[in-house]
Structure 1
Amino acid sequence: MEDLARLVGQRLRVARRERGLSVGALADLAGIGKGSLSEVENGQRNPTLSTLYALAGALELPLSSLLADRPGARVTSPGVEALLLDVRESGEATVEVYRLVLDAGAHHRSVPHGPGVVEHLLLTRGRARVGRAGEEVEIGVGETAEWVSDVAHGYAALSDEPVESVLVIRSPSRAVSSGGGPSDQEI
C-alpha cells in the first residue's frame, strides 16, 4: 500500500510540474487543501477515490495515469471501491476498465472529469441510479447507462445489497510520464 501511495504521489508531482502548477494552484483547482495535496505528493497520505478524481480532473488526466496504469490498483471512498482492471491507449483515447462496487445504500458524487470523457456502466448486481447530476437513470442487472462526465455525476445503490458493476471510462488521449510500480495494492 505504501509503495502505491508513493508512486501515486510521484506521478501526481510530475504531472503537476509538467503543467507548470504550484502545489497551491493545483490544490485550488482540485478543491482540496494544500497540506493534503503535499501529503499525497510525498506518499504520506492514502488519497480517497474522490480526491484522486478531483486531482485527475484538475490535471485533465485519466485516473489510471495517477495509478501508474497498473491493473490491480484499488482506490476507495466511503461506500465505494474501484479496482482498475485494464487500461488501453489508442491513438485518440485512453480506455480504463474498473470493477466498481457500492455498499448497500451508498451514494457517491463524482466531480466533473475533463472535456470529452464518457462513462459506460454495466450493472452486474443490485439496482442503481447513475449518471449526470439531474439526469440520472435507474438501472438493474444486465442494464447499462452511458453519459458524458464533464459535469458532476453520481452513483447510488438502491437495493439492500451491494451494487457491483463494470465501469468503462473513455478519455481523449493526453501524454503523461509513465513509470512502473506495484500492482494489486490498495490506496
Structure 2
Amino acid sequence: MSLNDQVGRRLKQLRQDSGLSLSELARRSGVGKGTLSELETGRRNPTLETLYALTTALGRPLSAVLDDPSPSSRVSGTAVTAVLLERYEDETAATDVFRVTITGGATQESAAHVPHTTESLMVLSGTAVVGLPDAPQSAGPGGHAHWPADAPHFYSAPDGEVQGILFVRYPKSTPPPGRPTRRAAPPR
C-alpha cells in the first residue's frame, strides 16, 4: 500500500471515529475540503504541514496517520523531511521519533500542536536553529534543543543541511481541540 493510500485510509478512519464531517475537519484544520477529500482517497501527496494541521485538529499525534514506522513513512514539508522511526506510548503520553533532514538555507514554520506537546531535536550533523520565533535555539553536532510545540515554532538550517532525530511528545490527558474539558471541583 502506498503512503498516500495508507495516510488517506487512516485519516478518514480517524475523522469518522471523531464524528467529524469532511467539512468540519477542513474548517478546524484550515485545510481545504477538496484537499482533504483527495488526501482521504489517496489521490494527493500529503505534506508535513498539512498532516500536522489535520492531526492537530483531530487531537492526535502525527504517527496516528502513518501507521507502522517504516522507511516508506516519509513525509516532506517546506524545509523538513521526516521518517517515522518509532512510536512509544504509555498511560501519560505518546512519543513519535523521527529521522529528520532540514534542507540547507531553508526555514519551515510549524503551527501549534495540541496543548502541552513538546519537541526535542538531537543534531547528528550540521547546525540547526529551531524552536520558538522569540526564543530560537542553535544546536550543532551532538547538541540538542527542546521547546514547547503547542505554540508556532520553526526549523532552519542556515549554514547547510542538518541531519537529526526529532522527538515529539504528545500528552494523553488533553482532549482534542473543540471538546470541552472537565475541570475537577476545587478542593474544599
TM-score, normalised with respect to structure 2: 0.87
Deviant stretches of 4+, over 6 Å: none
1:81 matched to 2:81: yes
**Shift in Å at residue 135 of structure 1?**
1.7
| Residues matched between the structures, number | 172
SS in 1 for 2:52: helix
**Shift in Å at residue 28 of structure 1?**
1.4
Does the CA-based 8 Å contact 1:133-1:151 persist in structure 2? no
SS in 2 for 1:38: helix
The residue type paired with residue 120 of structure 1 is S
Question: What is the match of residue 118 of structure 1?
Answer: 118
Question: What is the match of residue 142 of structure 2?
Answer: 142
Question: What is the match of residue 184 of structure 2?
Answer: none
**Shift in Å at residue 21 of structure 1?**
1.2
**Shift in Å at residue 60 of structure 1?**
1.0
- How far apart in 2 are the matches of 1:5 and 1:173? 27
**Shift in Å at residue 19 of structure 1?**
1.6
1:40 matched to 2:70: no
Does the CA-based 8 Å contact 2:79-2:156 persist in structure 1? no
- How far apart in 1 are the matches of 2:79 and 2:131? 17
Question: What is the match of residue 105 of structure 2?
Answer: 105
Question: What is the match of residue 66 of structure 1?
Answer: 65
SS in 2 for 1:170: strand
SS in 1 for 2:2: helix
SS in 2 for 1:85: strand
The residue type paired with residue 95 of structure 1 is T
| Cα-to-partner distance string for 1:60-91 (whole Å, 9 max, x where unaligned) | 11101110132321001233200111111112
Question: What is the match of residue 23 of structure 1?
Answer: 22
- How far apart in 2 are the matches of 1:80 and 1:148? 18
Question: What is the match of residue 157 of structure 1?
Answer: 157
- How far apart in 2 are the matches of 1:95 and 1:145? 16
Does the CA-based 8 Å contact 1:132-1:153 persist in structure 2? yes
- How far apart in 2 are the matches of 1:140 and 1:85? 22
- How far apart in 2 are the matches of 1:155 and 1:79? 8
The residue type paired with residue 63 of structure 1 is L
- Greater relative contact order (Cα < 8 A, sep 6+): 1
- C-alpha RMSD over aligned residues: 1.4
Query: Equivalent pairs: percent with the same residue?
Result: 41
